[in-house]
């Protein structure tokens, strides 16, 4: 358990997690989504190209085209 914090503006005491606003939480979630989107796209792009056996009858390949990353919540 951590020491209670004190709001410098109003003097309210509370645990650290009591001082997060909805906007701060929404921003953190959107930053996490944007980061995850970029990492997933990098992994998928690493698998681009021909798949398995390539012959005159069947040719398969993967091409990854990424959509823009979700915008950060402002």
Asked if residue 74 has pLDDT above 70, the reply is no
Distance of alpha carbon 45 from alpha carbon 52, whole angstroms: 17
Q: How far, CA to CA in Å, does 42 sit from each of 9, 47, 50, 72?
A: 44, 9, 17, 19
pLDDT grade for 1, boundaries at 50, 70 and 90: low
pLDDT grade for 6, boundaries at 50, 70 and 90: confident
pLDDT digits (tens, 9 = 90+) for 26-53: 988 998 998 998 899 989 888 888 888 8
């Amino acid at each position: 358990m951590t020491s209670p914090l004190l709001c410098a503006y109003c003097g309210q005491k509370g645990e650290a997690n009591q001082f997060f606003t909805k906007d701060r939480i929404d921003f953190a979630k959107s930053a996490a989504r944007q980061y995850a989107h970029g990492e997933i796209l990098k992994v998928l792009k690493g698998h681009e190209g021909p798949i398995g056996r390539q012959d005159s009858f069947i040719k398969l390949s993967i091409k990854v085209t990424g959509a823009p990353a979700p915008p950060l919540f402002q």
